[in-house]
């Protein structure tokens, strides 16, 4: 677990540095695309599990994709890519002014998706996956409520 964590932190750090060097506009649109991918993979899992007869392979693949994306979330928010850039973004300035809280929420999201991926690797039983899915949904919502501008 320790080495996984280090690799995770390292890759997140590298992504952060490279993203900060890029244009805010590029970072923001990449972030929006990334979040859409998150929504897509989570929807695929939800559609499968709610269908009553989920395809185990699809659920497993989407859940591991979701966990991989979730791990990247902190790297999508380098300093200087907030609302003060003047570029249209739903990211609130609080992401950077309350950075520790934001990172904690992103970490909770990543952890929930890892648990879901671990469960989906073993089973596609809705009874097992549904509580995990609800936990992931809860971490999405809690972070969005605090740090995303609601339309």
Residue among 27 and 143 whose Cβ is closer to another protein: 143
Report the C-alpha dihedral over residues 9, 10, 13, 18, rounded to 10 degrees.
-150
The widest CA-to-CA distance across the chain, in whole angstroms, is: 47
Rounded to whole angstroms, the Cα distance separating 106 from 83 reads 19
Q: Among all chains, which residue has been given the structure tokens 């996956």?
A: 129
Residue among 46 and 64 whose Cβ is closer to another protein: 46
Residue among 80 and 134 whose Cβ is closer to another protein: 134
User: Which residues are near another protein by CB under 8 A?
Assistant: 35-36, 38-44, 46-47, 50-52, 133, 136-137, 140-141, 144-145, 148, 151
Closest approach, Cβ 37 to another protein, in A, equals 9
Closest approach, Cβ 43 to another protein, in A, equals 3
CA dihedral sign of residues 46, 51, 55, 56: positive
Residue among 81 and 113 whose Cβ is closer to another protein: 113
Closest approach, Cβ 147 to another protein, in A, equals 13
Closest approach, Cβ 21 to another protein, in A, equals 28
CA dihedral sign of residues 47, 103, 24, 141: positive
């Amino acid at each position: 677990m320790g080495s996984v964590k280090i690799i995770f932190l390292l890759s997140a750090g590298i992504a952060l540095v490279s993203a900060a060097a890029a244009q805010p506009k590029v970072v923001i649109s990449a972030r929006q695309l990334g979040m859409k991918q998150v929504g897509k993979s989570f929807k695929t899992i939800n559609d499968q599990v709610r269908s009553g007869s989920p395809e185990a392979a699809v659920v497993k693949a989407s859940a591991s994709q979701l966990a991989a994306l979730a791990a990247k979330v902190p790297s999508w928010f380098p300093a200087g890519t907030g609302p003060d850039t003047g570029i249209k973004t739903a990211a609130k300035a609080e992401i950077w002014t309350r950075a520790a809280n934001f990172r904690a929420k992103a970490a909770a999201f990543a952890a929930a998706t890892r648990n879901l991926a671990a469960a989906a690797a073993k089973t596609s039983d809705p009874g097992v996956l549904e509580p995990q899915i609800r936990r992931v949904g809860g971490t999405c919502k809690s972070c969005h409520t605090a740090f995303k501008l609601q339309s």
